[in-house]
Structure 1
Amino acid sequence: MRYYVLDRGDQLSVDLSESFHKMASEQGLQLDAESPDIVVSIGGDGTMLHAFHTFIDRIPSIAFVGVHTGHLGFYADWKADEIPELIRMMSSHKDEGMLKPRIVRYPLVDLEIRKKSGTSSYICLNEFTLKSVDGTVVAQVDINDHLFEMFRGDGICVSTPSGSTAYNKSLGGAMIHPSIEALQISEIASINNRVFRTMGSALVLPKHHHCDIYSRKEQNLLLTVDHINLPMDDLISVRCQVAAQKISFVRYRPFPFWNRVRNAFLG
């Protein structure tokens, strides 16, 4: 079993990371920063996002597991004091008669960002947002190559099912189970009056659909892909669709999605 640990950088997470390496070595686990089988995130959900993008080129061949040290760890299965048990389960799968861990796969969103200066591609685990730096966003939204609406407002959020519990939720979007291969489009403070009109509610698109967001004026925009900020003043369009690949999480014990939702938001 090859593993890698990425921690949040605060003292507690760093100390836990060091302890993890020591205990993992004792159990015969191999530290491998290049091609790990499992990436362990120690921190919060932001740490998991960082781990995901660090290994974005190896997503099909690795799995992630989270250790929660912050206030809210939606992607984390384990608490700080449970690390010895996690390591024991990571190392025991090789023993005869031990059950293999369950692998669950969550949908991702694929982005194609077209600018006057070129085209780039990204994949997000939580959400993509488009906002204006210095005024109202003016954007055309097409669904499946047909005009859907002209948007004016603070911005647009496109989330994955797992990301539907994050920024999307604060915008009034629905929470979607990750077994549903879909993306969700939510408006950020849209302008609706007798002159300008948008749908005003979140839209859920299935895997075989796509949406295109076109910049419809000269504007300074801030695009975010999870925790990555992309300022740009020459945006042409962004195509959003459910990605062909998924992220894998390793489950050494049951932790159903709706239990995570309840623990995170209801206590």
Structure 2
Amino acid sequence: MSDQRRNLYFYYPPNEETDKKLEPVKQLAIENKFTIVEDAQEANIIISVGGDGTFLQAVRKTGFRQDCLYLGIREGDEAGLYCDFDLDNHEEMVTHMLNDDIEVRRFPLIEVTVNNESTFLCLNECSVRSSLIKTIDIDVQIDDLEFERFRGDGLIVSTPTGSTGYNKSTKGAVVDPLLPSMQISELASLNNNRYRTLGSSFILSKERKLRLGVRQDGNDFPIIGMDNEAYSIRNVKDIDVVLSDKVIKTARLKSNSYWHRVQRTFL
């Protein structure tokens, strides 16, 4: 691990059990000349302790920082596609950091702009769903092409790493994170003689621009999910999504690829 990356910040929901488990981890880090900081802005390595949900929160709450590494530690039986390390094997983690057994992986982000005003970043996905007990109508535009009018429960736009989350539960494809792209998947689309959608997920390259136009038919207050948070935005008309130039740099074991983790989690 580079001498320039020695300031550690631990992100996790505060609780006494985790505090106790982290004591030997922090002590071992200090003994090996790492510094524990209390302010995330002073850190150059941000460590989430929990599962993938905690990792997503750590990235979002610290502002999707471009100048630091994010590292995930699993706790208990938590899922860990973003987490290479186990809290119970903390000595192994520090050893890997000291012996340069860790490499940096860059994960794509999507950039979501609502009504040409508010812009958000997502590491996993952005979802647009009906807030009413009725279908939502969304005009899907790819670049300058009016592609389709979707009618159903909603749409999911996922990153490659997010393809194993909400997207996968809707039968979307699992995408290699080395492919900078975004995937659009349907939630219970309505297909009949009057309404017709593609009926399957599709993948767009990093050069494409996606616009989702929410038709104002009572569903002008949809639920917009950004990773694992819901945003309440009134009078939503247009949602523009592109692949961001920004990435999240994560520290992972050289011997543990993305597909190793997919295999371990699902097979």
Residue 122 of structure 1 aligns with which residue?
120
State percent identity of aligned pairs.
30
C-alpha displacement of 1:43: 0.3
Q: Give SS of 2:237's match.
A: strand
Question: Deviations 1:197-240 (Å, cap 9, x if unpaired)?
Answer: 11110010000001100111231311010122112330011111
Residue 11 of structure 2 aligns with which residue?
6
Match for 2:49: what amino acid? I
How many residues end up aligned between the 2 structures? 256
Contact 1:17–1:42 (Cα < 8 Å) also in 2: no
Contact 1:78–1:86 (Cα < 8 Å) also in 2: yes
Residue 225 of structure 2 aligns with which residue?
224
C-alpha displacement of 1:57: 4.9
Question: Deviations 1:161-198 (Å, cap 9, x if unpaired)?
Answer: 00000010011110000000000000000100101111
Between the aligned partners of 1:190 and 1:156, the Cα distance in structure 2 is 9
TM-score, scaled relative to structure 2: 0.91
Match for 1:231: what amino acid? S
TM-score, scaled relative to structure 1: 0.91
Q: Give SS of 1:76's match.
A: coil
Q: Give SS of 2:153's match.
A: strand
Contact 2:10–2:46 (Cα < 8 Å) also in 1: yes
Between the aligned partners of 1:65 and 1:52, the Cα distance in structure 2 is 10
Residue 235 of structure 2 aligns with which residue?
234
Contact 1:7–1:17 (Cα < 8 Å) also in 2: no
Contact 2:213–2:238 (Cα < 8 Å) also in 1: yes
Residue 36 of structure 1 aligns with which residue?
43
C-alpha displacement of 1:88: 3.2
Residue 95 of structure 1 aligns with which residue?
none
C-alpha displacement of 1:8: 3.7
Contact 1:145–1:212 (Cα < 8 Å) also in 2: no
Between the aligned partners of 2:118 and 2:24, the Cα distance in structure 1 is 39
Between the aligned partners of 2:118 and 2:193, the Cα distance in structure 1 is 37
CA RMSD of aligned residues (A): 1.6
Given the alignment, which residue of 57, 61, 81 partners 2:67? 61
Match for 2:63: what amino acid? I
* More displaced 10-residue stretch of structure 1: 185-194 or 15-24: 15-24
Task: Extract unaligned runs of 5+ from structure 1.
Answer: 93-97
Between the aligned partners of 1:155 and 1:182, the Cα distance in structure 2 is 20
Given the alignment of the two structures, is residue 175 of structure 1 paired with residue 144 of structure 2, yes or no? no
Between the aligned partners of 2:64 and 2:251, the Cα distance in structure 1 is 18
Match for 1:38: what amino acid? I
C-alpha displacement of 1:81: 1.7
Between the aligned partners of 1:163 and 1:71, the Cα distance in structure 2 is 17
Given the alignment of the two structures, is residue 46 of structure 1 paired with residue 71 of structure 2, yes or no? no
Between the aligned partners of 1:207 and 1:51, the Cα distance in structure 2 is 25
Residue 77 of structure 1 aligns with which residue?
84
Matches within 5 A, 1:111-260: 111-114=112-115, 119-134=117-132, 135-217=134-216, 218-219=218-219, 220-260=221-261
C-alpha displacement of 1:24: 1.7
Consecutive aligned runs of 4 or more in structure 1 exceeding 4 Å deviation: none
Residue 262 of structure 2 aligns with which residue?
261
Between the aligned partners of 1:255 and 1:210, the Cα distance in structure 2 is 33
* More displaced 10-residue stretch of structure 1: 220-229 or 167-176: 220-229
C-alpha displacement of 1:7: 1.7
Q: Give SS of 1:235's match.
A: coil
